[in-house]
Amino acid sequence: MTDAQDPVGRAIDAEKVTAWLTENVDGAVGPFTFDFITGGHSNLTFKVTGSDGSAFVLRRPPLGAVLATAHDMEREHRIISAVGKTDVPVPACLGLCEDDAANGAPFYVMDYVVGSVLHLAEDTEAHVPDQAVRATLSDSVVDVLAALHTASPDAIGLGELGRKEDYLGRQLKRWSTQWEKSKTRELSTMDEAYAGLMSAKPEQHYTGVVHGDYRLGNMLVDPAAGSVEAVLDWELCTLGDVLADVGYLLNNWAQPEDEVTLDLSTFATAAGGFSTREALVERYMEKTGFEVANVDYYRAFQNWRLAAIVEGVLARYMQGVMGDDTVDLDNYKLRVELLSAEALRLLA
């Protein structure tokens, strides 16, 4: 395994982090072992195991991260701590270190939650073979999202997390700017979708905490009970139009009969047995009391937004700054084209 695949040696100063954990985290008993869990373009996550077998999770920014606002450990720690006051299951935060001297970058520590992550259809088949459990899990996913969206940001201490008004307007401006800066070619579907999104932008009726990346791949689930045990990856969280999360979830909720060009196996729900997208929306409305009449707009917005994000990643690969020259660039290009075309279809 290369350093890029397992960055423990470069991301964790074992001696200094051990000293900090022992002094600042109740129940932490060294020496510790550190195992890389996940990272990529996101913050890096490590499992920390103490000499007594107790386990924690440590999160820190990516190696060489220069955009501090995109990898703000204090902000992420504050969000999870606040959301922990609601019925949304999140790991308990155990400590925050903002002193770069301790590990070269800020980090925070939280409980280690046992559960399965369902990224792909094959993960579902392996971990949740019972179709009845998949149906129960569908309800849990919706109920947790409803709990998040009906929580008062002010009441849980997140009222100042960001601007609450005109979420869609702000997002459209941000990602259209990013598209113009990073696009590797002209793509009419992106321009047409942007124009359609601007002209059809709905009024923001329901304001709350927006997770920003709410999907099964960012959850730990109990494969026996069919319940969400923890929602992870809060770095894109902000305040705004909560229906944006609904659109994003539906885009990642593939159904076996879907006619799409993208490989269905890349969606955990394509294994079958999960609730339909229509049933998800019905349950969400029942649990929140919110009316979801124009969900296709939010799905279109999220497809267009993701296309802009993927194009940015493509551009960085083409510039050679991602440290990997084996990536299939044509696949990234195709994904942007399919996402933007799907955005147009949904707008129509």
pLDDT band at 64 (very low <50, low <70, confident <90, very high): low
User: Phi-psi region for residue 188, left (φ > 0), alpha (ψ -120 to 50) or beta?
Assistant: alpha
Is there a cis peptide before residue 153, judged by omega within 30 degrees of 0?
no
Whole-number Å distance between alpha carbons of 344 and 3: 41
In the block, tokens 């947790």 appear at 144
Q: For a pLDDT cut of 70, what percent of the chain falls above it? A: 91
Q: What would the pLDDT profile of 79-108 be if each residue is shown by its tens digit?
A: 999 999 999 999 999 999 999 999 989 999
Contact 1, 321 (CB under 8 A): no
Element housing 179 (H / E): helix 167-182
**pLDDT in the model for residue 69:** 47
- The residue among 313, 328, 324 whose CA lies nearest residue 184 is 313
Q: Which CATH architecture has domain 121-347?
A: Alpha-Beta Complex (3.90)
Residue ranges, comma separated, of all CATH 3.30.200.20 domains in the chain are 8-111
305 CB-contact burial (10 Å; exposed 0-12 / middle 13-18 / buried 19+): buried
Residue ranges, comma separated, of all CATH 3.90.1200.10 domains in the chain are 121-347
Q: What would the pLDDT profile of 310-335 be if each residue is shown by its tens digit?
A: 998 888 888 876 556 677 888 889 99
Homologous superfamily in CATH for domain 8-111: Phosphorylase Kinase; domain 1 (3.30.200.20)
Distances (CA, A) of 165 to 75, 197, 238, 240, 242: 20, 17, 11, 6, 11
Q: What would the pLDDT profile of 107-159 be if each residue is shown by its tens digit?
A: 999 999 999 999 999 999 999 999 999 999 999 999 999 999 999 999 999 99
